[in-house]
Structure 1
Amino acid sequence: MIDLSYDFIITLQSEVLRQFGVENLQPNQCKHLTQAIMNHTGKLVSETTLKRVFGFAVTQHSFSRYTLNTLAQYCRFRDWEDFQNHFYKKQFDHPAGQDASKWDDVRRKASAVSHYTILTLRNRCGLPFDNTISRGYCLQHIEKFLESKYAATVLIAPAGWGKSTSLVHAAEHYWFGRAPACPQDICWFINAHAAGSLLLKGFSLSSWLDNQLNLGHGDNFREYFTKHADERSGRLVLIIDGFDEIAMSADKLKLLYNKLEDFVYSNELHPWVKVILSIRSSTWGEVFHQSHQYPAFRKYWYLGTEMDEETNTNIPPLTDTELKSVLYNFDFDPATVRLFSDSFLQKLRHPYYLQLFCQLSNTPDHSFVDENLSLFEIISRFIQNRVFNSPANTFKMQLIEKLLKLLDMGRAGLYTDKSGLLNQNADYFPAYKELLADNILVEENLSQEIMFNVKVRFAHNFLLEYFTAMHYVNLHGQNVSAPLLEVVLADFPQSPFRIAVFKWLLRYAITRGQADGIRDFFRLPLATSEKAHLLEYVVLHYQQEGTHQEQLSNIFPPGYFRKNPFGQFISDDFMHFKKRKVLNTLLSMAESADDRLKIRCNLFVMALMQLDAEQCEIELTNIRKLCAGEPAAEMWITPYAAFLFIYEYLKFGQIDEEMKDKIYHYASCWNFGKQKPLSTGEEAVYRALCFIFLLLGDYHQLLLFTSRLFEQHPSILFNRTDPFRLMMLCWKAQAHIHTGDVDSARRLSCHVDSVLKHYPAEFYNGKHIETLQKIIAAQIHLHDQEFNKAIRAAESAMDTAQKLDFKIFALLNYSILDRIYHQLQMDKQKKDAQQKMIVIRQSTTFIQTLPGLVEH
């Protein structure tokens, strides 16, 4: 009889461990077990074989009789037959008068097989299995299938999507858990490696199933239990995991599928026999998808509600709840997880990226795990595992280089024809199939009846960004230099794509210690936002290293930032509590008074937005020193004086009338005939003035000030992506609303919204502009009496404001929600909003908190 089932493999494992003297075997103990077996039997069972026996390595075939005999002899039995006979008699002997049913006998055999498969898959899981979660969709998919008339179903997804893990959770839920949902079913859970070679040798699933009756009369399993339905207490479910992970040619894979298809279609008269497969998207498109034209296929196969025909996937990404559950299982602080951006969480919904993230973040007790660095490390590790560590890496890189050329590095679009990429070159086919299987490339079949049309693209845009950057590195001798950067600058316009390519090049220079190359980035004529992103990445990287100050000093020696001040690109986008550590590091590197003033002003505004009176006072003291040490500027008031006015008003409820008069006469100090760029001090004062007019509730003056500011500095209007410009437009829109010109506010709000949406979420990291824009949009919807839209906008703004801990925005938003609830007579929600405003006021030592904004 063929040892496909490993009937007593679990028993054999237990006996070997008992003889070895341990309860649980670890992979590193297999070497010692090998020696113990050698000492007792005089025979060698290799460490690798033992890892397969105990489920730590993939089993691609049945265990040899030599291995089974040797392990049985180690357990004090004559051979494997003696071992089986002993435990078969012990396991299946029944009290007098009680005969075990044939169904129960087969279920015991199936349980032994399935438990071994489950153990193997648990050990092969990329994460500690107990930290994984059961996928709600997969359970629902299998439940619907089991209750349907379909004969087979399949979980289709790219490699690393968690198909095997989902099947283990489903098997434990329905058949093998402590309280299984379907205890009367027979579930035969096998790995395709165990069955594949046998099936190709002529072995059939039908004949194997018949043999499990063990009667020796050639009984047909399905016909027997159909005829004797009273002996059958449930369904027979055959699960084959990793159908396409067997290393074989396409022809053999199709032969294997044909055998499986014969078995599925022969179950029409036996609806209680069910088949569940897991398969990669690339194999589904190549082998199974061809059967879609046959009516029989749709009659027998259940594909589920989430089947995407273009990408050949029927398992959706992880839900936010599932994703966060896994992170919590790894002891990530819920407060930390709540701070992850939506774009970062969206990427982690891909199970393989989540797995890499959890593996890389081996110190999850940190107060915050930086998204920027983590994402680049995840992608780098993913490509290393799936491309560079592959035996076919040479052909894979040749294909990727050809795809980059056909796409013109993305400038010619994101898709190319499959025929043009492969060009009938047979050498490329295996590597191409691996790239599809590993989710590096994706096929989209757009063929019609009269035309064959298959397009190929990178599975994710960040793969295109990575390989584009590495293409330029290879062209310039693996060295990041000024000529390389100038080529990239000339080849691509300002865009998020260019920033991403520059970041990959910067990471390459950092990891290879190319200090000159790192400095070359900051000599380029880049946009303010681009330099800000790059400088932040450098600082973040060395902060992770621990000795950042020394390493940064080696890259940026004394005098570097005096000649190349960075204050010009420390923009409002650094207005984020996550940036505080970066700003403090930059402060230690700053050599010009302007740079130090810019950072201190940003830190003060952040503390102000959080209504942190104590931190405001600390930053105010430092700003006073900076302003006192500089010669008198042309400005009519200093940043220190403007911020001090705000602080004293909020802290003590006092208004310095002399300073107020000076503030209100800003226009008399402006020279409208002289055009010059904003200085650091001017930008700080103008930002402070907006807050002052807001705090005083003087929206007429806020409107007048923002209008005149754009007249005084028209160049601001032409820098579309400048966060300072967008913030000023938001304050102007806020002023329009409160002065009755809602149409003007609507135009400004829509403009800011379109700019923000034009760029990916990572472009504006600060999020405070987006939050303020949504607050303004909520007010406009409230004016238009579109209450549902108003509530959605306000709640979205509130979610971000709470993540950022920007209490000023939270108060603004609660005041809007308060008015919405008042209009809708939602007394409970209105009371709740008012209570939360009280909580915010009580959380700060400021005695004034936007007093003019809480009136109805």
Structure 2
Amino acid sequence: MISFSPIQFETLKSKVLANANIRSITPGDCKALAFQIYSKTKLTVSETTLKRVYGFAYSKFKPSLFTIDVLAKFCDYEGWDDFCERESVPSEKFQNEHVDWKTLSQNAAKITHFTLQALKNRSGIPFGQTIRRKFIDDHFDEFLRGDYTATVFAAPSGYGKTIGLCHWIDEKLESDSNDIILFFSSSALMNVFLSGRDLNDWLLALLGYSQEEDIEALFDINKRNDGRFYLVIDGFDEHMFKNDQFELVLTQLMDIFSFYQSHEWFKLVLTMRSANWINNKHNMEFGLKNWFTGFITDHDLTTNVPLFNIQEIKELSRKINPDVQNLIAIDVANNFNHPLYFQFYYKQNKNNFSLNNIDHICIYELISIFILNKVYLGHYATEKILLLKGLVDEMDFQAGIYELDKFKCNDLLKQYSHAYNELLSIGFLREINSSNDFQFKTLVQFGNNNFLEFTIARKLLLDNNQRFDLQLIKQINNAFNDSEHKLPVIKWCVIHAVKNGQQESFELLAQTNLNPKEKSELIIFLGDLLQRVCFGSTNAEATANFFKQDCSDGFFYYFFGLELVNTDYKKVLQTLLKFELSDHKKVLTYTALATIAILQLDLKQLEDHLAKLKSFPQDDFHQFAINPLHCLNAIYQYLKYGMIRKDFFAEITRFYFNPPKQSETVHNRKANDLIFLLSAYSTFICRKPHKTLRFVNALYTIDKTSAETSFAYNFFLKVAESDAYFLLDKQTSLLKNNDEISASHKQEEYLFTPFMKSLFYGLKIKNAISSNDYSAINSYLNCLNQVSDESGNKLSKLFIYASILNNEVLLNLDPQLYKQVSYNHTRLLRECGLSVDVFISPKSEVLALKVKVNN
């Protein structure tokens, strides 16, 4: 074995760069450097070897004697031994004569700068375009304020631990503090085993000191000037080592920690995966009180590194492409709060980066790309697939068991041990040891739900001969019940169907047992997916044939329901219009689009959709129990001019005094439900709540099936009924309905779509006004504004504002809230181009005038 000194090797690497006139090496420089070395020495060191030497590629072994000999010859030495001999003597003399804090700082800075540069160059997004993260500063502030010696940043792979730490170290190095930072990644610890040295001695060698010198003596308090020494190790994870190696390094590191923990100037900082912290913190328990574990954001994963928030996503986007103003919906942004997925998206779109084109499909594409590159195209690909299939086979979906006892599946893991270690290293799987004094318990889990759901879907499709059919849907319905994983698994199956030209099976989605919220998410997802298919190149011929036909009834009517209204729902309906629909289905589609325009107070869109509807023959409207064109036109006339169409409300009166028979087919009921609910809410225009109650009672009579079986349909009828009770000041009836709906929301909040929630919070506000509980109004109003913005429901906000402004008691109790609501109300009217006179009652005008006088 050759004598290998890490500090001397670092010096040689620096001399190589100096001789090659390279100030700061990047991966692209390695090829040119290899050519320079060959030109001078006529000996070959490959580009790949140089990438390993300079930290751009992972290496389990030290460089060969040939490599370091060639590098020494490139620097005009006879070889490695000559280099060591000529460099060591003056270095040792210098060490012995100048043992102080400044020397330590200089030597540590060399290593830290090299580590920083290597990690920055590996950043998926160019480091200069990444952002500092506030949680890092908060973490260190609390760590340094307390009586702690060590801290850890623990999070799964891809949470941005390393980049966040690099920013903090950069800022620390630029400051005028007397602190020293010795920073290296865990791959550098392999040198401990390659050199056969103790970790403490190895650190001394890195800093330029001999083994005989005690590092404690170097820290002269007079020269330190209150400076701290930070030992920072990035990526201190089990998968980087063999078991015996990791245990040895951990033991030696804990020896260092235990020796220096009494010195307030010594600080140990580690980053590692959550699973590694969970599995090994028991080895640190003797000094756990000296460990600061940060602010845990996910107790299940023991994670103290948060995902991106919306502000960080916007800041990062601006830094990547300052010329583009990025707009992104909150629900879509939540998929991109994971730094790893954001990085994948950047790599796919770095030439024209913008978040404006992101839809609900992007996250699935990014996950697919990750799995393709890391699982399907990596080492042991076949073994990985067989292992993952075997792990899913061991799960019990009905019992909700998605993590496996390692003891029970150990034979499978041993059979595919190389594949298992690879999947652990990329974070696709993780191993959690939660043993106690009573039992051994180690669990094998997927790295996140996205990986789990993708793997389950692939396994189900494989077992079903890669077909998305009724048999598969029944299997999913039976296996998952109310599981949170059910909808994502269905989405992965739908993506598979599109990529394999199985679009005709979409009509089977009507057979999926989903609650209203899940159905809303699936429909929006389908809208984005079909739009991609329509304009994409995937299966172009199959796609063209798919749209050159009428939708099946099952597929078409699956898209309809007032509960589905959302800002993204328009795209779904517009995609439906690309099919060659029957006139009846076109009328329904434009009616739904017009309904969205009403809720969003978009009169221009409403005019356009009315024009489309008026172009259809009158015969196409006769099959509806209530003419949707008459209903929509009555609402338009009121919004635009404040006009109340008496002829339409006469039609409503005839309807509830002589209601039609109950619809026989599911599809007819589905078509009428939307129009019935639209008509019910339109009755508030004429400000006759008794008319609303009669109409709602008629709907209960003629459509018992929908009222009894459809949670959403019954909810909308209850809310319409409650609004009428509010106007009639029937407090008992209003409170009864409020309590029933509140109980449903408390027990089954997942059933409520964003639009349903906006009506729910509107009802809570009206009930608070009716019962004189004015203190609750402000909190409910904040919730209403949030969910209304999410669903695009401006109409509900407008009428709630009007209800508040019409209440004189609130004006006297909370004039500031009243003033804010008045301002929001007026601004909303102006933004939507609506007349203030139409929506401000005389009483509200008088109260608003009082506010101005009082202020």
- Per the TM superposition, whether the score is higher than 0.5 is yes
Change in Cα spacing, 1:171 to 1:479, as seen in structure 2 (3 Å) is same
1:420 corresponding residue in structure 2: 408
Q: TM-score, normalised by structure 2?
A: 0.85
- Decide whether the 8 Å contact of 1:604 with 1:615 is kept in 2: yes
Q: Given the superposition, is the C-alpha separation of residues 59 and 631 from structure 1 closer, same or farther in structure 2, using an over 3 Å criterion?
A: closer
| Residues 1:836 and 1:467: Cα distance change in structure 2 (over 3 Å) | same
RMSD, matched Cα:
4.1
Partners of 1:672 and 1:711 within 8 A in 2: no
Give the distance between the partners of 1:495 and 1:584, measured in 2 at CA.
Answer: 31
In 1, are the aligned partners of 2:550 and 2:579 still within 8 Å (CA)?
no
Whole-angstrom distance in 1 between the partners of 2:828 and 2:301: 48
CA distance in 2 between counterparts of 1:824 and 1:358 reads: 54
AA matched with 1:37: I
CA distance in 2, matches of 1:213, 1:807: 65
* SS of match in other structure, 1:165: helix
Alpha-carbon contact 1:841-1:849 (below 8 Å) kept: no
Q: Structure 1: state its 5+ residue gaps.
A: 94-98
Name the structure 2 match of 1:43.
43
Q: Structure 1 residues 406 and 70, CA, compared in 2 at 3 Å: closer, same or farther? A: closer
Matches within 5 A, 1:167-246: 167-174=165-172, 176-177=173-174, 179=175, 183-199=177-193, 201-211=195-205, 218-226=212-220, 229-230=222-223, 234-244=227-237
Shift of 1:239: 1.0
**1:304-327 deviations in Å (ceiling 9; x for gaps):** 343877534333444444344334
Conservation of the 8 A alpha-carbon contact between 1:435 and 1:441: yes
Task: Give 1:582's aligned amino acid.
Answer: V
Q: Give 2:137's aligned residue.
A: 139
Asked if 2 retains the 8 angstrom alpha-carbon contact of 1:775 and 1:797, the reply is yes
Q: CA deviation at 1:114?
A: 0.5
Q: Would the aligned equivalents of 1:264 and 1:300 in 2 still touch at CA under 8 Å?
A: no
Q: Deviations over 1:50-92 (max 9, x none)?
A: 33455533365666676566557657788788899899999x9
Deviates more, 1:132-141 or 1:747-756: 747-756
Per-residue Cα deviation, 1:166-217 (whole angstroms, up to 9, x for no partner)? 221221232x23x36xx21111111221222325643224324444675769
* CA 801–35 in structure 1, closer or farther in 2 if over 3 Å, else same: same
Distance 1:66 1:559, change over 3 A: closer
Residue 145 of structure 2 corresponds to residue 163 of structure 1: no
CA distance, structure 1, for counterparts of residue 458 and residue 291 of structure 2: 43
How far apart, CA to CA, are the structure 1 residues paired with 2:61 and 2:108? Answer: 18
CA spacing shift, 1:241–1:492, aligned 2, 3 Å: closer
Moved more, 197-206 or 520-529: 520-529
Q: Deviations over 1:500-520 (max 9, x none)?
A: 33322121122233455x356
Residue equivalent to 2:591: 601
Is the contact between residue 110 and residue 188 of structure 1 (CA under 8 Å) also seen in structure 2? yes
Could you tell me which amino acid in structure 2 is paired with residue 833 of structure 1?
Answer: V
> What is the aligned counterpart of 1:796 among 763, 778, 783?
783
Is the CA contact (8 Å cut-off) linking 2:547 and 2:580 kept in structure 1?
no
CA apart distance, 1:412? 4.9
Matched with 2:266 is 273
Give the corresponding residue for 2:275.
Answer: 282
Alignment partner, residue 96 of structure 1? none
Aligned to 1:151: 149
Partner residue of 2:655?
666
Change (3 A) 1:56 1:674: closer
> Using a 3 Å threshold, how does the CA distance of structure 1 residues 604 and 277 change in structure 2: closer, same or farther?
same
Residues 238 and 246 in structure 2, CA contact (< 8 A), matched pair in contact too: no
SS in 2 for 1:158: coil
Contact preservation (8 Å) 2:527, 2:575: yes
Cα 1:88–1:475, aligned 2, differ >3 Å: closer, same or farther? same
Deviates more, 1:541-550 or 1:705-714: 541-550
* AA of the residue aligned to 2:644: I
Deviation at 1:257, TM superposition (A): 0.7
Q: 1:737 aligns with which of 726, 735, 741?
A: 726
Inter-partner Cα distance in structure 1 for 2:554 and 2:842: 43
In 2, distance between residues paired with 1:555 and 1:492?
33
Identify the residue that residue 247 of structure 2 maps to in structure 1: 254
1:364–1:442: structure 2 CA closer, same or farther, 3 Å change rule?
A: same
Listed one character per residue, the Cα deviations across residues 405-441 of structure 1 (whole Å, up to 9, x for unaligned) are 3432344544553322326964466655655565545
Counterpart CA distance in 2 for 1:271 and 1:644 is 76
Structure 2 counterpart of 1:220, one-letter code: D
Partner Cα separation in structure 2 for residue 85 and residue 324 of structure 1: 54
Deviation of 1:231 (Å): 5.6
Match of 2:827 in 1: 839
8 Å contact 1:746–1:777 — kept in the other structure? no
- Contact 1:648–1:654 (CA under 8 A) maintained in structure 2: yes
Match of 1:623 among 592, 608, 613: 613
- Among 790, 795, 798, the alignment partner of 1:808 is 795
| Distance across 2 between alignment mates of 1:813 and 1:358 | 42
Mapped to 1, the partners of 2:644 and 2:211 lie a distance apart of: 102
Tell me by how many angstroms 1:638 deviates.
1.5
Q: Counterpart amino acid of 1:407?
A: M
> Quick one: which of 753, 757, 760 aligns to 1:773?
760
Amino acid at match of 1:48: T
| TM-score normalised to structure 1 length | 0.85
Q: Deviations over 1:83-105 (max 9, x none)?
A: 99899999x99xxxxx9883222
Q: 2-side partners of 1:760 and 1:346: how far apart?
A: 19
Paired with 1:302 and 1:567, the residues of 2 have a C-alpha distance of 56
Residue 111 (structure 2) aligns with? 113
Specify the SS of the correspondent of 1:238: strand
Deviations 1:101-123 (A, max 9, x none): 83222211111110110011111
What CA deviation, in whole Å up to 9, does each residue of 1:12-62 have, x standing for no partner? 47635636xxx7765445334422432233232211133345553336566
In structure 2, C-alpha distance between the alignment counterparts of 1:751 and 1:456, rounded to whole Å: 43
1:123 aligns with 121
CA contact (8 A) 1:17 1:24 kept: no
State which drifts further: 501-510 or 352-361. Answer: 352-361
Q: Quickly say closer, same or farther: Cα 1:54–1:282, change in 2 above 3 A.
A: same
1:509 equivalent in alignment to 2:505: no
| 1:619, distance to aligned residue in structure 2 (A) | 0.6
> 1:132-158 deviations in whole A, cap 9, x for unaligned?
333323333333334444332222222
1:509-547 CA distance string (max 9 Å, x none)? 22233455x356358587796887666545522423563
- Name 2:815's counterpart in structure 1: 827
Identity %: 22
Structure 2 counterpart of 1:694, one-letter code? F
Contact 2:7 2:205 in 1 (8 A): no
Inter-CA distance 589–217: structure 2 relative to 1 (3 Å threshold): closer
2 CA distance for matches of 1:213 and 1:418?
Answer: 42
Deviation of the 1:462 alpha carbon: 4.4
Task: Give, in angstroms, the shift of residue 604 of structure 1.
Answer: 0.7
The Cα shift of 1:449 comes to 3.2
> Is the 1:150–1:301 contact (alpha carbons within 8 Å) kept by the matching residues of 2?
yes
Q: Report how many aligned residue pairs link the two structures.
A: 831
Give 1:648's aligned amino acid. Q
Structure 2 counterpart SS, 1:315:
coil
What one-letter code is carried by the residue in structure 2 that aligns with 1:810? K
CA distance in 2, matches of 1:189, 1:672: 78
* Alignment deviations for residues 708-731 of structure 1 (CA, whole Å, 9 cap, x no partner): 211221111233344x44333322
2:607 matched to 1:582?
no
- The one-letter amino acid paired with 2:271 is S
**Alignment check: 8 A CA contact 2:318 2:325 kept:** no
Match status 1:569 vs 2:567: no
- Using the TM superposition, give the Cα deviation of residue 692 of structure 1 relative to its aligned residue in structure 2, in angstroms: 2.3
1:304 maps to which of 269, 288, 294: 294
- Please, which runs of 5 or more residues in structure 2 have no aligned partner? 848-855
Residues of 1 paired with 2:510 and 2:788: CA distance? 36
Establish whether residue 727 from structure 1 lines up as the match of residue 716 from structure 2.
yes
Change (3 A) 1:347 1:676: closer
